Structure 1
């Protein structure tokens, strides 16, 4: 399974089109963790699984998405309803409740990935206003039978190799 994860693009359009062009045919899903500030029928966001963030007014985007991709339970939320700027505890309770293997969220604009109770929690950072680093980022998640590989990329599609993580299964 290979996934593209973005968040907090706050009105950007050409960057999302570029990601769709670059990855659309090579990933199993493109996921937007909210605060796109776009409408659901806009071409830039159409092919993304998208949730509604605190800056989104499009009611067609759900607050949370639970889906299955290649046998993996995926949970996507923006994070503001789970207080992710303070703790991942509330989100980890929800992940257990929905039996998620992967949890993708945004809101804080701070990139990061960690395993909690054998679940991957990942925030891809922000394509517009990163916090904690200067790079505007997105993430690629690749799962094989033995590993989960996390790669963070800049908006110029350069991998931040010092942030690459590989978790053994």
Structure 2
């Protein structure tokens, strides 16, 4: 199972078009963690699950969503409603409440990936306006490959090239 996770594209529709085209022939589940700043009826969103960010002013995307794919319970949100700028406690609790083992979020524009109490918490960073120590990459997204025993996380830049120092593996519990 493979998830492609992107966030905070802030109106950069072209990078999302390229991302969908890049993965169109692969069996992936595409997730957008909010702040697309695009219309909810944009045809791109037939290819991905999207949530409302604090800069998505149309109010038509859900604030959060939970779904299952091949025994993976996914909790998807933007993060601003869970205080992710401060810590991940509220996000973790929300994911645990819905029995998710994968929680994806955005908002901070900084990539992050941590395992807490059997829940993988992942922020792909911003594909359009990155912040933090990896802002020199000019934008990132993440790919999560799930095996029966592990989560393999690889971050990529806007040119779809893996960032070698941003590869992580976590044991599934």
2:152 equivalent among 149, 152, 156: 149
Q: What TM-score comes out, normalization by structure 2 length? A: 0.94
Deviation at 1:24, TM superposition (A): 2.6
Q: Which runs of 4+ in 1 moved over 2 A?
A: 43-46
Counterpart-to-counterpart distance in 1, 2:101 and 2:61: 22
Counterpart-to-counterpart distance in 2, 1:27 and 1:119: 23
Matched-pair contact (CA < 8 Å) for 1:28–1:69: no
The equivalent of 2:67 in structure 1 is 67
Whichever structure has more helix as a proportion of its residues is 2
Counterpart-to-counterpart distance in 2, 1:55 and 1:17: 20
The equivalent of 1:106 in structure 2 is 106
The equivalent of 1:57 in structure 2 is 57
Q: What TM-score comes out, normalization by structure 1 length? A: 0.96
Tell me, which stretches of 5 or more residues in structure 2 are unaligned? none
* Aligned Cα root-mean-square deviation (Å): 1.0
Deviation at 1:58, TM superposition (A): 2.7
- Report how many residues are paired: 169
Deviation at 1:147, TM superposition (A): 1.4
Counterpart-to-counterpart distance in 1, 2:147 and 2:95: 21
Counterpart-to-counterpart distance in 1, 2:40 and 2:46: 6
Tell me, which stretches of 5 or more residues in structure 1 are unaligned? none
Deviation digits for residues 67-118 of structure 1 (CA, Å, limit 9, x no counterpart): 0011110000000000100110111111111111100000000001110001
